[in-house]
Amino acid sequence: MRPEHWLFTISLRLRSLFRWAQADQDLDDELRDHLERRTEEYFAKGMTQQEARRRARLDLGGVEKVKEECRDARRVNWIQDLILDLRYGLRMLAKSRAFTVVAILTLALGIGANTAIFSCINAWIIKPLPYPRSDRLMVFATHDKKNGWTGEHVTSPADFFDFQRQNTSFEQIVAWAGAGLNLTGDGHPELVDGGRVTWNFFDALGAKPILGRTFIPDDDRSGAPHVCILGEGLWQGRYAGNPKIIGRNITVGGEAYTVIGVMPGTFQFPLMGIANLWTPLALTDKQRADRSGSWLPAFGRLKPGVTQEQAEAEAGVFFSGLEKQFSQTNANLTWLVNSMTWDIRRKEGGPELMIVFVIVGLILLIACANVANLMLARATSRTREFAVRGALGATEGRLAGQLLTESLLLFFLGGVAGTLFGFWLMRLIESWIPGRIRGYMINYGHVDLDFVTLAFTLGIALVCGLVFGLAPAFQNARLDVNQTLKEASGQASGGQRGARLRRIFVASEIALAVVVLISATLVVKSFIISIRTSPGYNPENVMTAQLVMPRTKYINDSQKRNFGEEVLARLRALPGVASAGAASNVPFGGFGQGVEVEAVRRPSQPGERTGAGFAAASPDYFSTMQIGLVKGRFFNSADSQGSSPVVIITQSFAREFWPNEDPIGRQIRFGEQHTVATIVGVVRDIMRDHLRERGGWLMFVPLAQFPSSTLAFVVRSSADPTMMATAIRDAIWSVDNDQPISSAPLETLIAVVDAGYRVMTKLMAFFGALAMFLGTIGIYGVMAHLVSQRIHEIGIRMALGASPVQVLRMVIGSGLKLAVVGVAVGIVVALAATRSLTTLLYQVAPNDPLTFTAVPILFVAVAVAACYLPACRAMGVDPIVALRYE
C-alpha cells in the first residue's frame, strides 16, 4: 500500500475503531434502509407486504452474517474482538472464582519468585557501577606466570609508581588500602571502616564532595599536613552534620587530622566496604621503593579509545622489562587487567545467583504446568459452550483467540499478583544480607523494583500465558461440533488427547519438582553438615572484642603486654564470665595473620617454606574457645617473656610436616625474624577464614612471648553473650578509655562471613518447599478432575460389582503411575543437573544416594496422599446418583 493511501485511510480506521457504536448503528440503518427499499420493490411487483419482506430478507441472506462481514471489511476488527474477548474473559474468570483464585495464586508464586531473583540479578549484576563511564575502570592483579598464583587487586608500591609514571593506557592509576581507622576524641572512641588512598582516588571514580574538596597531590606526600575526608554517614552520625566541620581537627589513630571534605552517602567503593573516612596514602620514600611485597591494591581508568586488551598488553611489556631489571623480586610476575565491574560482580556470587535463577525458572514452569492443567480441565468442561458457539458460526480462529485471550488475561493478573509477592520476597532476601557484607555490594546490596524488573515480570507472564494458553486453545478450537453436542451431558472427557496432555503436564511438573527438591536438599544438607562440623572450637556463648592499639601510645612490648593482661584480669572478674582469653586475632574477625614457616629438621631450601595462619594467644584462649588438644599441652604461665619460644600447631599442619613422627619437641622456624620455636602441643584443625574448607594450617605462639598491637578478647559466658557486650567494653575502657572496640558474638562473626552461603541455603530451602508444594497441588488437581470426569464410569463399575477398595486402588493407581513416571524422569535429569551445583556442596556428592532415594520416596508418598482425597470421593460414589446424573 502506498504511504499516502495509508495516511488517508488511517483516519477511517481510527474512526471505525473509536466510533464503534456509531459505526454499528450506521450499519444497522444502512441495511434496514436497503431492506425497506427491496420490500417496496417486491411489493410494487405485486407481492403481499409479508411476502415482499420475506423475499427481501432472503436476498440479503442472514442480516447478522452480512453485518459481521461488513465489520470484517473494516479490518480493525481484531481489536474489537480483543476487547470483546477481554470482557468475556473477565466475566468468565469472575464466574469461576475458585479456578481464578487458585490459578492466580499459583502464578503469583511462580512469577513472583522470578521477579525477586531477577531484581537481585538486575541490581547486583546487570546495573552498571555507580560511576561515570564505569566500563573504563580496571582493577589490577599480580600474576605469577610460573607458579600460577594471582594476587587480586594488589601490586608492589615500586611497580605501581613506575607503571603510573610510564604507562600510556590509563588516564589515572589509583592505589588504595582499606583500613579500620581509630577515631577518638569527641565522645566514644570509634573504629571506622575507611581507607588510605592516593590523591586521585575520588577524581578517577568521578566522585564530587558535598562539602569542601577532595585530595590534591600535595596532600599525598609523606610528612604533609594530615588531612582527611569524611563520609556523609559518619559526618551526620558523629558530627551531627555540622556544616562547619571543614577545617576542624579530628583524632585519627591518635594523630590530628584536618577535615577537608565530606563525600555524599551515595558514594561507594564496594572493594573497600562501607568506608566513611579517607586519608591520603602518603607513602614514605622507603615504602615507595618497596618492590618485594605485593600488598598495595590498585585500579585505573582507561583513556578514551584504549581497550582492556591494549592496556593489558602494555602492562605485559612493562612487566617483562621489570623482570629483566629486577630478577630478584619480579621474576615471572605480570599484571592482569580486569574490568572493575566484572571483578565486583564476581564477588557477589554471580554464578550462585544464576543457579537460583535456573531454579526459579523451573518453579515457574511447574506453576505454569499447573495452571495449564487447570485451564485444560476447565476447557473440557466448557466443550459444550464452545460447540454451541462454533455451531453459531464462530470460526476456529476466533474460538482459539478467545481461549488465548483468557489465558493471557489470567497470566497477566498472575503477573500483577506475582509482582506483589516478588516485592515481598525481594525485601526478605535483602534483609538476609548482613550490613557488613552489603558494603562490598553494588549500591550496598540495595534492590529495587525498577522498570527493567517490571518489564521482565510482564514479559515472562505474557510469554507463559501465550505458550501455556496454546494447548487448551487448540484442544477446544478443533473440537467436533456434532460429536460434542450429541454427548448429552458434556461430561465425557474432552477427547483422549486432552487427558493425555494433562498427564504429560503433571508428569513433567513432578519431574521438575523432583529436580528442584533434590538440588535444594543437597544444598541444605551441605549447610547442615557444615554447621554441624566443628570449626575446631565452640563459638556458642563466646563474645569477642577486637581492638587495635595505636602505635603512638603503645610503643614497646611491655606496654602492649601490660594492657592485655590488665584487661584480661578485669574481664575474668566480671560476673557471668566463665573464662576469658586474648589473641592477636580470632577466627572470622577479619584480622587473619599469616607467616612463612619451615621445619628446622631439614636444611633450609628456598621455595620449601610454606605459609601458615598465625596467632599469638594467651594460655586461657584455648580453654575459652574450647579448642581440642590432640597431643602435648596448651600454653601456661611458664611460657613467658624470658623463656624459650614455644608453639602449638594444628593437626593437618603436623601431619604435613611430620607424617609419621611425633611432632612434639620438634622445632619450626617462622616469620621475618626467623624465630625458632619448639612445638609443645598439637590441636584440632581450626576454621579461621572460611567454613566448609579443610582447616588451614595454623600455628599459635604465646602472647606473652609475642605481644601484638591487634588484640581480640574472647569471653565465654554462661548466658547470652550479647548481654556481656557493655560490661566487656567498660572493662576495656577502665584500662584505657580511648580505645575503640568492635565487639560481636563469635557466632555473628561467622554468620557474617558465611552470609552469602546462608542466603543461598535459605533460598534453596524456600524454593525446594515451593516446588514440592506446587507439584503436590498439581497432582491433586489433576486427580480430582479425572475423578469428577469419570464419576459416570465409576458408577457403572460399582453397579457392576466393583468394591470401593477396587475403586480406591484404581484411582490411586493411576495417580501413582503418573508420579512414578515423573519421579523417574526427575531422577535422571537431576543426576545430570546437580553436577553444576558442586561449588555449593560441602561433603555431599552431587549424586548423594540418600538424597536421591529420600526425595523420590517422599514425592511418591505425597502423590499418593494427594490422590487419596479424590479417591475417597470416588469410593463414595453412589451408582444410582452417578448413573442418573446425565
Contact residues for another protein (CB under 8 A)?
5, 8-9, 12-13, 16, 26, 29-31, 33-34, 36-38, 59-62, 65-66, 69-70, 72-75
Cα 228 versus chain centre, distance: 36
Q: How far is the CB of 393 from another protein (least distance, A)?
A: 13
Beta carbon nearer to another protein, 52 or 234:
52
Q: How far is the CB of 477 from another protein (least distance, A)?
A: 21
Q: How far is the CB of 388 from another protein (least distance, A)?
A: 23
**Residue 877 CA: distances (Å) to CA of 307, 380, 799, 816, 886:** 76, 21, 10, 21, 14
Beta carbon nearer to another protein, 64 or 661:
64
Q: Which residues pair with 190 in a beta bridge?
A: 183
> What letter represents residue 72's amino acid?
D
Which among 341, 346, 342, 300 is positioned nearest to 176, based on CA atoms? Answer: 300
What cell numbers appear for 384 in the block? 459444550
Beta carbon nearer to another protein, 35 or 504:
35
Residue 508: how many other CB atoms lie within 10 Å: 19
Q: How far is the CB of 394 from another protein (least distance, A)?
A: 16
Q: How far is the CB of 43 from another protein (least distance, A)?
A: 13
Residue 403: how many other CB atoms lie within 10 Å: 26
- Look up residue 286 and give its DSSP letter: H
Q: How far is the CB of 789 from another protein (least distance, A)?
A: 40
3-state secondary structure of 396: helix
Q: How far is the CB of 26 from another protein (least distance, A)?
A: 7
Beta carbon nearer to another protein, 12 or 569:
12
Beta carbon nearer to another protein, 13 or 609:
13
Q: Which residues pair with 611 in a beta bridge?
A: 596
DSSP 352-415: HHHHHHHHHHHHHHHHHHHHHHHHHHHHHHTHHHHHHHHHTT--HHHHHHHHHHHHHHHHHHHH
Q: How far is the CB of 479 from another protein (least distance, A)?
A: 25
What cell numbers appear for 247 in the block? 577545617
- Look up residue 125 and give its DSSP letter: I
Beta carbon nearer to another protein, 60 or 858:
60
Beta carbon nearer to another protein, 25 or 604:
25
Beta carbon nearer to another protein, 35 or 691:
35
Q: How far is the CB of 110 from another protein (least distance, A)?
A: 43
Helices (H), 246-303: 285-288
What cell numbers appear for 212 in the block? 569542601
Q: How far is the CB of 36 from another protein (least distance, A)?
A: 7
Q: How far is the CB of 46 from another protein (least distance, A)?
A: 18
Beta carbon nearer to another protein, 56 or 833:
56
Q: How far is the CB of 90 from another protein (least distance, A)?
A: 30
Residue 817: how many other CB atoms lie within 10 Å: 13
Q: How far is the CB of 42 from another protein (least distance, A)?
A: 12
- String of b and e for 245-268 (b: at least 16 CB within 10 Å)? bbeeebbbbeeebebbbbbeeebb
Contact 466, 408 (CB under 8 A): yes
What cell numbers appear for 596 in the block? 612463612
Beta carbon nearer to another protein, 75 or 497:
75
CA distance 710 to 651: 26
Q: How far is the CB of 30 from another protein (least distance, A)?
A: 5
Beta carbon nearer to another protein, 66 or 470:
66
Question: CA end-to-end span of the chain, whole Å?
Answer: 56
* Cell 473440557 -> residue: 380
**Helices 97-121 and 77-95: crossing angle, nearest 10°?**
110
Beta carbon nearer to another protein, 75 or 427:
75
> What letter represents residue 830's amino acid?
A
Beta carbon nearer to another protein, 34 or 346:
34
Q: How far is the CB of 397 from another protein (least distance, A)?
A: 15
Beta carbon nearer to another protein, 6 or 342:
6
Q: How far is the CB of 386 from another protein (least distance, A)?
A: 24
* Cell 460429536 -> residue: 483
DSSP 518-574: HHHHHHHHHHHHHHHS--SS--TTEEEEEEE--TTT--SHHHHHHHHHHHHHHHHHS
Phi, psi of 776 (to 5 degrees): -65, -45
CA distance 875 to 808: 6
Phi, psi of 249 (to 5 degrees): -95, 135
- String of b and e for 607-636 (b: at least 16 CB within 10 Å)? eeebebbbbbbbbbbbebbebeeeebebbe
Q: How far is the CB of 37 from another protein (least distance, A)?
A: 4
Q: How far is the CB of 35 from another protein (least distance, A)?
A: 9
Beta carbon nearer to another protein, 2 or 694:
2
Q: Which residues pair with 543 in a beta bridge?
A: 715, 745
CA distance 65 to 635: 101
Beta carbon nearer to another protein, 69 or 730:
69
Contacts of 512 (CB under 8 A, 6+ apart): 362, 363, 365, 366, 369, 771, 775, 826
**Residue 320 CA: distances (Å) to CA of 160, 164, 295, 331, 751:** 14, 16, 20, 9, 43
Beta carbon nearer to another protein, 79 or 256:
79
Query: Quick one: which H or E segment has residue 454?
Result: helix 451-477
Beta carbon nearer to another protein, 42 or 697:
42
CA distance 323 to 644: 42
**Helices 804-833 and 849-875: crossing angle, nearest 10°?**
150
